[in-house]
Amino acid sequence: MRARNKKEKHIYHLRDQQKSLTDKQKAWGYKRLNNYVVFRYSRHVCTECGYKWQGDTEVTRKNNGCSCPKCNKELKYVALDNSSEEFVKLFSIVKVFKGFQVIRNFEFYKRVFRSGENRTSVAEVSQTWIDTDGKITYLRLNRAGNWNSCWSYHSGLEVRGNNANGYYPNSAELGMRDNQDGVYPGMKILPMFKLRGAKYISGISIVSLFEGLLKDTLTETLLKVKQYGLLQFRVHSPHRSEELKRHIMIALRHSYVVHDPMLWDDYISFMKELGKDVFNPKYLLPENLKEAHNEAHRLVEIQRDRIHAEQLEEKLKDSKEKARQLAITRRKRKKLKGFLLKARGVVARPLITKTDFKKEGKAMNHCVADYEIKPNVLVFSVSVNGTHLETTEFCLAKEKVLQSRGYDNDPSNYHNMIVKTIEKNKQKILKQIS
Ligand SMILES: [Zn+2]
């Protein structure tokens, strides 16, 4: 991919001046992937030198490793379900280069085999370039999928993911799992970040931290008061923490340390659901968050059960009431047996039984059959001058025609006359059913 503008061209030019990892840096990374001992039948196998020996497997398992009698390396025990197992870690080199804050991310890879071999590799998977105006450019390899460690290793470090609208996604959206596993010692930071207190904190992505520091002062404040739990929440879940911003400010004012922001977030949601004022420090800042969380959760469950039961009862009441109304309506329809409303050539014959409704629906090609179970309505099959033309729904509560439909739901030429005639003579119907 070619650089699309002057700035990208400049960064590509600087990218190509980057040095490869030194042997010392490589050794540092591989050391963090550890060495491993596996078992083959009852024998120990060192995946570093391939030496096999008989040892006490129970003791090795219990100690979570041992040292190799031959190469003397410290080995971690790993249970192999398959013939091999892979280990991947991402380490960053943080430095200043030609006025840019640069973060280079390297993926260290190791696969160990039951046979006593191992295979290692290292690949640079992404770079982040931040200029002194705070503009960020992300370079990365293409991704072959959405899980971790699925880079297309020969695709080249390039600007990716920004769309034609000029929208540049952040590192999290790009799937750059930046330095989740560590930073190579001796990192260099631009003064603008140093002034804001930037440093490497285990478990916090350094790129996300820089992004957070550029965005607002809350990240800086959290960093300075060492609220690392909230800081991690802030930079790794920016949207969620933005919603809790006011709560976080209250916690800071009261020097309330939140060690587990996810738990706190849940707790606040529960308290809101319970109708508590979550801006009141008394509720927002419990002495023992875990206990308060569990208690709030318990109360929320009770409340949810109660609401659910009430809703069920309401539903039941509704359906009972509906059944009662329908029974009354059916009794009224029966009273119309043999009744015909005749006026001005219109003859309206009431539909009484389920069969009546079904027959009418078939004859007129519409869904009147479903109206048999509708309470508080009477339905008439209407002819004019001896021709079956429409089906008319008459509402008992409003004492008027709700709808009148001809074949296939289309109105007949006599539609208005039919409606008028029935409404004009409604007393005859009402008298019959009273
Ligand atoms: Zn060995």
Ligand 1 center–CA 64 separation, angstroms: 16
Distance in Å, CA 73 to ligand 1 centroid: 6
Q: Are both 304 and 366 inside the same structural domain? A: no
Is pTM beyond 0.85? Reply is no
Which residue, 186, 215, 244, sits at the end of a domain? 215
208 with 238, same domain: the answer is: no
Q: Which residue in this structure is represented by tokens 């120990």?
A: 44
- What is the CA(46)–ligand 1 centre distance, in A? 5
Q: How far is the CA of 54 from the centre of ligand 1 (A)?
A: 13
CA of 148 to the centre of ligand 1 (A): 30
Collapsed DSSP state (helix, strand, coil) of residue 103: strand
Q: How far is the CA of 93 from the centre of ligand 1 (A)?
A: 30
Distance 55 CA to ligand 1 centre (A): 14
Nearest alpha carbon to residue 95 among 23, 156, 17, 159? 17
Distance from the alpha carbon of residue 68 to the mean position of ligand 1, in angstroms: 5
Distance from residue 43's CA to the centre of ligand 1 (Å) = 13
How many domains in the chain? 3
Distance 105 CA to ligand 1 centre (A): 30
181 CA to centre of ligand 1 in angstroms = 26
- When pLDDT is cut at 50, 70 and 90, the band that residue 83 belongs to is confident
- Ligand 1 centroid–CA 112 distance in Å is 13
| Residue 389 and residue 307 share a domain | no
Ramachandran area for residue 179 (φ above 0: left; ψ -120 to 50: alpha; else beta): left
Q: Residue 1: inside a domain, yes or no?
A: no
Task: Answer whether residue 67 is part of any domain.
Answer: yes
Q: How far is the CA of 58 from the centre of ligand 1 (A)?
A: 19
Q: What is the CATH number of the domain that holds 405?
A: 3.40.630.30
Q: How far is the CA of 290 from the centre of ligand 1 (A)?
A: 46
Can you tell me the distance from the alpha carbon of 29 to that of 24, in angstroms, rounded to the nearest whole number? 9
| Neighbour-count burial of 272, counting CB atoms closer than 10 A to its CB (0-12 exposed, 13-18 middle, 19+ buried) | middle
pLDDT confidence band for 40 (50 / 70 / 90): confident
- pLDDT tens string 54-79: 989 999 999 999 999 999 999 999 98
Residue 50 CA to ligand 1 center (angstroms) comes to 6
How much is the pLDDT for 325? 94
Pairwise CA distance, residues 411 & 42, whole Å:
88
The answer on 161 and 291 residing in a single domain is: no
Question: Do residues 382 and 394 both lie within one domain?
Answer: yes
CA of 35 to the centre of ligand 1 (A): 9
- Residue 348's pLDDT is what? 96
Are 361 and 314 members of one domain?
Answer: no
Answer yes or no: do 238 and 369 share one domain. Answer: no
Q: Determine the distance separating the centroid of ligand 1 and the alpha carbon of 138, expressed in angstroms.
A: 41
pLDDT at 164 over 60: no
In a domain, 271, yes or no: yes
- Whole-number Å distance, alpha carbon 62 to ligand 1 midpoint, is 20
Confidence of residue 81 (pLDDT cuts 50, 70, 90): confident
Q: Is a pLDDT exceeding 70 seen at residue 413?
A: yes
How far, in Å, from the CA of 140 to the mean position of ligand 1? 36
pLDDT of residue 166: 46
**How far apart, in whole angstroms, are the C-alpha atoms of residue 168 and residue 289?**
38
Residue 142 has pLDDT above 90, yes or no: no
Query: Which residues lie below 8 Å from residue 71, measured CB to CB, with a gap of 6+?
Result: 46, 48, 49, 51
**Does residue 107 contact residue 178 with C-beta atoms inside 8 Å?**
no
d(CA 257, CA 262): 13
Question: Ligand 1: distance of its center to the CA of 75 in Å?
Answer: 8
pLDDT at residue 162 greater than cutoff 60: no
Q: Kindly give the distance from the C-alpha atom of residue 59 to the centroid of ligand 1, in angstroms, as a whole number.
A: 18
When pLDDT is cut at 50, 70 and 90, the band that residue 177 belongs to is low
For the chain, the average pLDDT equals: 90
Q: What's the 184 CA to ligand 1 centre distance in angstroms?
A: 27
* 33 and 156 housed in the same domain: yes
CB 341, CB 425: distance < 8 Å: yes
Amino acid (1-letter code) at residue 225: V
94 pairs with which residues across the strands? 103
Cα–ligand 1 centroid distance for 117 (angstroms): 10
Pair 211, 85 in one domain: yes
User: How much distance in Å is there from the Cα of 74 to the middle of ligand 1?
Assistant: 9
The last residue of a domain, from among 215, 243, 278? 215
The verdict on residue 10 lying in a domain is yes
pLDDT bin (cut points 50, 70, 90) of residue 163 is very low
Last residue of a domain, one of 281, 310, 327: 327
CA of 37 from ligand 1 middle (Å) equals: 9
Helix (H) or strand (E) holding 201: none
Q: Give residue 338 CA to ligand 1 midpoint distance, Å.
A: 103
Task: Give the domain extent around 305.
Answer: 216-327
Residue 245 shares a structural domain with residue 311: yes
Integer Cα distance of 25 and 106 in angstroms: 10
